[in-house]
Structures are given as C-alpha cells and as structure tokens.
C-alpha cells in the first residue's frame, strides 16, 4: 500500500525535479544523420566553383554561338536579357559560397586548421570575385548565414562592388599570411590534397602550392584595377608577384573527372542534349585560323552530323576546313547564301570538339599558370613588375607553351587520339608574325592569348575582355538594344535573378537604384569596367 503511494509520488517528483526538458537536446538530435562533419569534406564538396558557360560568357566573348532563337535558347547571341541563363553564377550562393561560409563558421575561434581556413578564405574570395565581376553590387557581407545567424540573414542586403573588392583583397592577403607550412595538411583539397591530380602528402608542399594559387588570385584581382586605378593595380600586382605566383602547370588549380560518377557537366549540352544547337563562333575560329593555332584541333572540329557529333568517327580538324557561325545570325538564315547551309540535323559549321575540350571527361581549370603568366606579361610590359619587355616576352611565351602543354592532359584524360603539341610546333606558332611578342602591340597580343587560354573558363574570359578591351571584337549587330543608354553593344554585366525581386524585394530595389540610371540591365558596368569597348 505504502509502496504504491510512494511510487506515485516518486514518479511525480521525478518529473518535477528531473527537469522538464532534460535530455531534450539529445532527443532532438537524429542519431542516424550526419550531424557533424569534418570541414575539409565540405571544402572538397564546394571547391568546384563557377566557371561560366558556353551559352553565356563564351558567347559574349564570341567563342561560341547558339543560333537558335526559339524560346528557351534565346539569350546573348540575340542581345536578349533572359533570366535563367544569368542565374547560374548566382547559384554559387546556395552552393559553394554557403559551404565556404559554413566552414569558416565551424572553424571560428579554432587554431588547428589554419591552412584549411586560409584555403577556404582564398577560394571563397575567388568565387565572390566572379560574382562581383558578373553582377557588380551583390550581397557579400551577410551571405550564406541564414542557417547560422537566423532570420536577420534571410534577406541579405547588396554591398558595393568596390567595397567588396577591398574586402576580398584583405581576405586573400590575410589568408596568405596565415598559411603555415607546419600547420594542418588538408588531405581533402581537390587541387593539391592527397587525391589531387598532382597530390601533396604534407602541409609544406600543399601550402607552397596554395601560396602560389593565392598570389595568383591576388594578381588577377590586382589586374582588374588596371584602368580604374593603375597605381593601386601596380601595388597589388607587385605584392602578388613578390609573394610568388604559379610557375608551372603543376601549380594549376584544376580537377579531372572519372567520366562515370562525375563528369564535366558544362559540356553536357554539347555532347548529349541537342548538340545541333551549338557551334563555334566565327571570330574565334578565324583567329585560330589566322594564327595557325595548333590548339585548334582540341578545341573545334567539323562533324559529319552536327546533331550527333559523337557519331563521327574521324572529325575534321584541318584548320582550313573550319568555319565559325557568324555572330548574331539566326538559324533560319543559315541555310541560305551567304551562309554555308544545312548539314544533316544541323548546319555546316565547326563545333566545339566533343572528343577533347568539350568532352564530358574534359578537366575543369579554375586558375592556371598560363593565365597567370599572361597577366605577368602585361604587368611587366606596364612596368608594374621588374624585367621590362624582355620579361614580358618571356612570360608571354611561357604562357603559350604552358597552355599548349596542358593539351597533353586533355588528351590523356579524354582518351583522345590526337598527339600532344610538340616543342617544334610551339616554336613555330610563337614565331609567327601575328603571334610573336611585340612591345608596340603587347596588350592586344597578350590579352588575345588570354582569350584563347580561357576557352574553358568563360567567366574569366569575359572579365578580362571587359578589363583589357582585347581581343578587338565587333559588336553583335543582331539589334541595337545594347547601344541604348550609351552602351557599346557588348554585354557588360548580368542582371540579378528575377526571384530576387519577389524574395528580397527591398534590398533588390535598393541595389537596382544604385546602378547607373537605376537600370538592372546588361549594359551597366562593374566598378573596374570603366572604358567602353571599341
């Protein structure tokens, strides 16, 4: 009897005294989920950042053309502002950038992962730089924090593009200072970690590579100021140069694909999904032809059926047989004179070579020695780094050779039967009058090479084109839309995603108001893009 009484009261007391929310945190933690993660794995997951796309950036710089203007494929080849094509870069916010921000949050206040932290800061700066270059003012200081900081961060405000660049400079330089050869080894790093194409096995080796990568990012950032503020450009470029930039192809930041579990998805459309829509652009093809560029066969080819390029056993790669689709011509015009007409499912023009550079097995290059060396060539030419024109020429030629050497990697990765470019071919190419370094024409030569080198990095190709004004391209004359409001006929920025108007209205409206003329359009320019293109 007494026992029962006791049981009841003990039970009641337990509930009261034991605390009414005892163990609740544990109860509300899914024991079967991944609730904690090694931040290095997040870094690996986020490391493949935005590179631009064929139908966007590569089309703006006239390397690529989709002449179909029917509905869903209408975009910059027809000077049109179409929302979904411009949102890919913005997608980095919920992809790479969210995870970078999260890694930095997880590592906040820790000291044992300083190298991972620094790599994340450098690579996040690289990704944000592309974001600014693409849209101008964008959310920066408060991004990716919705899950960490709560409701105040659901609708980030837009930050001034120049101010973001200032912070990117600080982030990169601080991270470079913090990199520690005797610190943590980030085995998960896709570029220089244990499973990278050129793997490192210790922190010292890896940190040396990241120092070069970080300084190369800094060099890229410094060069962006070349027209806006040459003094500042010079100072940053010199700092990067002094810190040590990439010196060989083994320093390249890139990944390769196994072709089954992972592929180069940006080439998917060209290979599988309606290949007949996609062609090489005339200015690019003509440049390759005019310079007898030995890289051409890896880049472009003629296929028996443009609708089924993989079905062509031996694609035509002879340079004289290559023809690019003229810019701003609609597909309904292509069958007739003066154009080359129909071939099978498509048109009788060159396409990207789906067996090599447009293959699903093509590696993705984020930042390369060749790009870096070309930027150094310009810096030397401008006198921002030592060595004068001699050095400039050396950097220029090294870059061309490095890029040609990289073709060997494409060949091995894609299983292509083409031969690598020999030293003799490289020499012959560089010796040509319209290729050989010439101080009087240095900026054109260097930046036109940069354009070729950036064939698989549209975002960088577009930025450098806007920055340098080279190569000298003619505007797309499909219509005069891009000449309105004092435009020069070229696309200078992407517009913000339409979804921002509905989901981030007041910040979006403030951001648009801050743009020149209050216009969220393709003509407005990023802060460093100060001169109209010729």
Partner 1 sequence: MRKVTILFVLLLFAGVQVAFAQRTVTGTVTRADDGSPLPGVTVLVQGTTIGQLTDAEGRYTIQVPNNQAVLNFSFIGFTPQSVTVGSQSAINIRMDEALLQMDEVVVTALGIKRESKKLGYSVSTIDTEEMLTNKAVNMMESLEGKVSGLNITPPAAGAGASTQIRLRGQVAFAGANNSPLLVINGLPMDQGANSADGYGASRDLGDNMNSLNPDDIESMTVLKGATAAAIYGSRAANGAIIITTKSGAKNQGIGVEYSSSLTLQEVLDYFEFQDVYGLGVNGQKPISAADATSNGQFGWGAKYDGSLVPAFNGDLIPYEFQPNRLKQYFNTGSVFANTLAFSGGNEHGSFRASFARTDTKGIEPTNEYKRNIANLGVTYDITEKVNFSVNVNYTNESYINPPQIGTQGEGSMNFLTRVSQSIPLDIIEKSAINPATGTEWPVAGWTTINNPYYAHQVGQSYIRNRDILLGTATLRYDITDWLYAQGRFNYDYSLSFTESKVPGGIGTSQPMHTDGTWKGAYNVSENMGTNINSDFLIGANRDFGRLSVDASFGGNTFRIKNHNFYVNSSHFTVRDLYSIANGVDKSQGFGFSQSRVNSLYGMAELGWNSTFFLNFTGREDWFSVLNPNSNSKFYSSVSGSVLFSEFLEDLDWLDYGKLRGSWAQVGSANGVNTYEGYLKYGINADQFNGQTLASISGSGAPNPNLQPFTVTEKEIGLELRMFSNRLHIDLAAFDKVTTDQILNVMLSTASGYSTSKKNLGSLKNQGIELMVQFTPVETNNFRWTSSVNHSFLKTEVLSVGVDPDGTPIDDMLVIAFNTTGMEFLGELHYTVGMPMNMLYTRTYLRNDDGDILLRDNGRLLASNDYIPVGSSLPKHTGGWNNTFSYKNLTLGVFFDYKFGGTVLSATLLNATRQGLSMLSLEGRREGEAGLTFPGVYQSTGEPNTSVVTDLQGFYGDYRNLQIGDPFTFKSDFVKLRNISLSYDLTSLMRGSSFLGFIKGLTLTGSVRNVYTLYKDIPNLDPEALQSSGDMRAGYENSALPTTRNYMFSINAKF
The dihedral over CA atoms of 224, 252, 128, 181, expressed in degrees to the nearest 10, equals -110
Is the Cα torsion angle 449, 357, 333, 57 positive or negative in sign?
Answer: negative
Task: For residue 487, give every residue at least 6 positions away whose Cβ sits within 8 Å of its Cβ, in sequence order, or none.
Answer: 522, 523
Judged by beta carbon, residue 191 or residue 451, the one nearer partner 1 is 191
Q: Contact, 471 vs 443, CB < 8 A?
A: no
Judged by beta carbon, residue 335 or residue 518, the one nearer partner 1 is 518
Tokens 């943590």, residue located: 184
DSSP secondary-structure letter at 138? Answer: B
Distance CA 44, CA 341 (A): 46
Distance CA 529, CA 490 (A): 12
Distance CA 391, CA 52 (A): 31
Q: Least distance from C-beta 353 to partner 1, angstroms?
A: 24
What are the DSSP calls for 214-272, one per residue?
A: HHHHHHHHHHTTTTT-HHHHHHHHHHHHHH----SGGG-EEE---SSS---GGGHHHHT
Q: Least distance from C-beta 137 to partner 1, angstroms?
A: 12
Q: Contact, 218 vs 243, CB < 8 A?
A: yes
Q: What backbone phi and psi angles, to 5 degrees, belong to 260?
A: -115, -60
Give the residues across from 316 on adjacent strands: 302
Is the Cα torsion angle 22, 25, 26, 30 positive or negative in sign?
Answer: positive
Q: How many CB atoms lie within 10 A of CB 24?
A: 10
Q: Contact, 255 vs 191, CB < 8 A?
A: yes
Q: Least distance from C-beta 366 to partner 1, angstroms?
A: 15
Q: How many CB atoms lie within 10 A of CB 417?
A: 9
Judged by beta carbon, residue 186 or residue 327, the one nearer partner 1 is 186
Q: Least distance from C-beta 348 to partner 1, angstroms?
A: 32
Judged by beta carbon, residue 106 or residue 399, the one nearer partner 1 is 106
Judged by beta carbon, residue 87 or residue 438, the one nearer partner 1 is 87
Distance of alpha carbon 457 from its chain centroid, rounded?
A: 5
Q: Which two tokens stand for residue 364?
A: 């993705």
Q: Least distance from C-beta 227 to partner 1, angstroms?
A: 28
Q: Least distance from C-beta 362 to partner 1, angstroms?
A: 15
Q: Least distance from C-beta 262 to partner 1, angstroms?
A: 6
Judged by beta carbon, residue 256 or residue 285, the one nearer partner 1 is 256
Judged by beta carbon, residue 158 or residue 303, the one nearer partner 1 is 158
Give the residues across from 280 on adjacent strands: 64
Q: Least distance from C-beta 474 to partner 1, angstroms?
A: 36
Q: Least distance from C-beta 524 to partner 1, angstroms?
A: 19
Distance CA 77, CA 431 (A): 34
Q: How many CB atoms lie within 10 A of CB 144?
A: 24
Q: Least distance from C-beta 27 to partner 1, angstroms?
A: 4
The dihedral over CA atoms of 431, 433, 436, 441, expressed in degrees to the nearest 10, equals 180
Q: Least distance from C-beta 434 to partner 1, angstroms?
A: 40
Judged by beta carbon, residue 26 or residue 336, the one nearer partner 1 is 26
Judged by beta carbon, residue 130 or residue 325, the one nearer partner 1 is 130
């Amino acid at each position: 009897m007494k026992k029962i009484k006791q049981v009841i009261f003990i039970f009641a007391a337990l509930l009261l005294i034991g605390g009414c929310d005892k163990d609740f945190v544990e109860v509300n933690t899914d024991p079967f989920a991944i609730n904690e993660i090694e931040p290095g794995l997040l870094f690996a997951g986020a490391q493949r950042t935005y590179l631009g796309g064929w139908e966007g950036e590569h089309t703006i710089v006239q390397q690529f053309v989709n002449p179909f203007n029917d509905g869903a494929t209408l975009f910059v080849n027809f000077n049109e502002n179409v929302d979904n094509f411009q949102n890919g870069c913005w997608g980095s916010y919920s992809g790479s950038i969210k995870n970078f921000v999260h890694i930095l949050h997880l590592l906040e206040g820790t000291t044992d992962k300083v190298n991972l932290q620094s790599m994340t800061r450098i690579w996040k700066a690289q990704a944000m730089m592309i974001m600014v270059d693409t849209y101008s003012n964008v959310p920066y200081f408060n991004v990716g924090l919705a899950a960490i900081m709560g409701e105040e961060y659901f609708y980030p405000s837009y930050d001034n593009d120049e101010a973001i660049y200032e912070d990117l400079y600080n982030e990169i330089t601080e991270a470079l200072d913090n990199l520690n050869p005797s610190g943590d080894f980030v085995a998960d790093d896709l570029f220089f970690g244990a499973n990278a194409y050129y793997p490192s096995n210790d922190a010292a080796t890896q940190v040396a590579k990241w120092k070069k990568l970080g300084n190369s990012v800094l060099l890229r950032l410094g060069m962006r100021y070349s027209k806006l503020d040459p003094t500042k450009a010079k100072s940053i470029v010199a700092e990067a140069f002094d810190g040590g930039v990439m010196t060989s192809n083994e320093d390249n930041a890139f990944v390769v694909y196994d072709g089954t579990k992972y592929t180069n998805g940006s080439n998917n459309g060209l290979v599988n999904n309606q290949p007949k829509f996609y062609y090489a652009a005339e200015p690019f093809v003509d440049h390759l032809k005019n310079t007898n560029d030995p890289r051409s066969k890896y880049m472009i080819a003629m296929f028996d059926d443009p609708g089924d390029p993989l079905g062509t056993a031996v694609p035509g790669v002879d340079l004289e047989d290559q023809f690019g689709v003229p810019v701003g011509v609609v597909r309904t015009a292509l069958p007739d004179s003066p154009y080359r007409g129909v071939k099978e499912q498509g048109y009788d023009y060159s396409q990207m070579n789906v067996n090599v550079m447009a293959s699903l097995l093509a590696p993705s290059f984020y930042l390369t020695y060749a790009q870096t060396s070309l930027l150094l060539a310009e810096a030397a030419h401008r006198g921002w780094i030592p060595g004068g024109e001699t050095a400039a020429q050396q950097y220029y030629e090294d870059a061309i050779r490095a890029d040609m050497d990289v073709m060997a990697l494409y060949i091995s990765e894609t299983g292509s039967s083409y031969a690598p470019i020999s030293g003799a071919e490289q020499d012959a190419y560089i010796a040509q009058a319209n290729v050989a370094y010439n101080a009087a024409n240095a900026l054109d030569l260097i930046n036109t090479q940069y354009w070729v080198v950036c064939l698989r990095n549209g975002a960088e190709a577009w930025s450098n084109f806007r920055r340098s004004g080279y190569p000298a391209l003619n505007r797309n004359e499909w219509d005069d839309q891009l000449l309105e409001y004092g435009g020069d006929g070229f696309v200078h920025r992407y517009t913000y995603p339409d979804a921002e108007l509905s989901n981030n209205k007041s910040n979006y409206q403030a951001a648009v108001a801050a743009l020149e003329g209050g216009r969220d359009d393709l003509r407005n320019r990023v802060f460093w893009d100060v001169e109209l293109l010729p």
